[in-house]
Amino acid sequence: MNYPHPLIAREGWFFIAIATVITILVNIYAGLLWALPLWVITIFVLQFFRDPPRAIPHQTNAVLAPADGRIVAVENVQDPYLNREAIKVSVFMNVFNVHSNRSPVDGEVHGQWYFPGKFINADLPKASLENERNALWLKTASGADVTCVQVAGLIAKRILCYVKPGEHLMRGQRFGFIRFGSRVDTYLPLDTKIKVSIGDKVYATLTVLAEFPQ
């Protein structure tokens, strides 16, 4: 799943094709006035599935943002997947953000957990534990444990993840996609230095979320 790959994510091709065909047919048989709202929807769907390439920072101890969006949580919590104290950094993605998910670190996938759940607003703290979610346990070469969790949102109806335990991910490598609004939680060791604050806008791969001790 590394680049190069389409600038419009494959996950959206079906939806874009359906929206485009319907809009063109309405435009032909009913006229532009009736088709105008559908053109707006088609453009929205097209922008939702954009998936631009990203340059990977050279800083080897950096933890990169796994998604585009806004920081909604930076807090010490209990990591429910690895049963440890950790720092959770949460990125909320609205419908105008890129929804491709990328690995925050270089590491081997040691575990994966999927939980069906609710579809409450992903901006709410309880979404981390109540919504549909898919968690990956990544272990870096230095032994650091990172849990990266895709969380469905209010209108997100499918979490896509393309890696399994035993595979290796590189920083910035594309590993999944969430359709139509969601969040990604990253659980980090307590000695990690956090570089973002609540309210910050972040960009997958480009933004450094945190730094591991040197």
**Annotated active-site positions, please?**
182
Token duo for residue 171: 């920083």
Q: What whole-number distance in Å separates Cα of residue 204 and Cα of residue 102? A: 7
The residue written with tokens 């060791």 in the block is 189
Q: What whole-number distance in Å separates Cα of residue 150 and Cα of residue 160? A: 9
Find out whether 115 and 133 touch, Cβ atoms under 8 Å. Answer: yes
Q: What whole-number distance in Å separates Cα of residue 15 and Cα of residue 70? A: 26
Strand order, beta sheet including 62-64: 62-64, 208-211, 193-194
Instruction: Name, in order, each residue with C-beta under 8 angstroms of 190's C-beta and a sequence gap of 6 or more.
Output: 76, 85, 86, 87
Q: What whole-number distance in Å separates Cα of residue 162 and Cα of residue 111? A: 13
Tell me how far CA of residue 139 lies from CA of 7, 34, 56, 104, 203, in angstroms.
Answer: 29, 53, 19, 11, 23
